[in-house]
Copies of this chain bind each other. A is one copy, B any other.
């Protein structure tokens, strides 16, 4: 029997992606959709300006949109809320006993909230036991859409060698700004060398995700690493797919062969690779000259595979490479769903209702 899930912020761009990715999900069924007062009371089909490239799932289209308040008829909620409201709304749901699987930034850096990439730091899940919202409610978050690709690419290097410094310049897709998001006159045939708040996230979130958890259960703790990361973020006229040019300085200046071997050797832990949304390969290295590219490669692993290309030595640091990840799937709704699957597999998502 499937778990019933609610979607907070269901009419927005991330909310719609949740709706689409959860269509036919083997473990979850969408039974509740919630949004702002403007949408509440309408059918989802009337409230949402549907922007996904496949038709709106029939089962959800007829749901009545509710307010983002506890009382939704479901076992857990996914949050695609805007950060202007996510902070308090998510707390309210956790306090009311709901597991909250959030894509919002608000609680990502909370001491007791896992900032989770299942393939990278599944043991951080333990932090939920420190949370005191209610008996059964808690919050789990996934990182910023640009953080996830960088962090997955850095993980094997951190494990094998240790990282000393990182330079990263991003070229981020328009869908990362939601809908309506970037004005077309700013986007077409243009680059905008600034995305509010993004560089800060990219310079801090990986340090929390890559950190080692200490203690267990209610005593678990994560202290961010203190590696300097310099991020420069740009918006480019691409639909889906964040590209990142990365340069890393590693402990002991390992050879390029050793670095490539480390990246290539990285794979999902067994616990993760069996989850429904886990791709065949979570980190794929491409050897062709001019890969990865958003239009060509962003759909690998149904948007859950992170692609790495152009691994080569760096005249300044030790290695350079390009990372591509799907910003609204791996970097948002898909990442959150994988988080929920990990929690479900560990028995942390009990049925709430009789």
Contact = CB atoms under 8 A, between A and B. Distances in A.
Given A53-B295, A171-B234, A171-B236, A316 B228 contact: yes
Interface stretch (A30-38, A185-193, A263-271): A185-193
A309 to B, nearest CB: 7
A234 B243 contact: yes
Contacts of A54: 299
| Residue of A234, A245, A294 most packed against chain B (CB within 10 A) | A245
Interface in A147-188: 165-167, 169, 171, 174-175, 179-188
A348 interface: no
B228 A315 contact: yes
B175 A185 contact: yes
Given A229-B315, A316-B166, A316-B167, A189 B295 contact: yes
Interface stretch (A93-101, A116-124, A285-293): A285-293
Contacts of A230: 167, 247, 314-317, 320
Contacts of A243: 191, 193, 234
A155 to B, nearest CB: 19
B191 A239 contact: no
Contacts of A186: 180, 184, 293
A146 interface: no
Given A232-B247, A238-B189, A295-B190, A169 B166 contact: no
A191 B294 contact: yes
A190 B53 CA distance: 12
A64 to B, nearest CB: 21
A252 interface: no
A237 interface: yes
A181 B191 CA distance: 18
Interface in A80-126: none
A258 interface: no
B188 A188 contact: yes
A350 to B, nearest CB: 38
Interface string A231-250: 01010111100010101000
Given A179-B185, A182-B184, A320-B230, A190 B300 contact: no
A43 interface: no
A55 interface: yes
A54 B290 CA distance: 16
Contact of A238 (B190, B228, B294, B300): B190
A185 B51 contact: yes
A129 interface: no
Given A181-B184, A193-B322, 18 more contacts: A53-B299, A166-B316, A167-B167, A169-B232, A171-B171, A179-B185, A182-B183, A182-B184, A186-B293, A187-B188, A188-B188, A189-B189, A189-B295, A193-B310, A194-B310, A232-B245, A232-B322, A234-B245
11 contacts: A53-B297, A167-B247, A171-B171, A181-B185, A183-B184, A188-B188, A191-B293, A230-B314, A230-B317, A232-B320, A232-B322
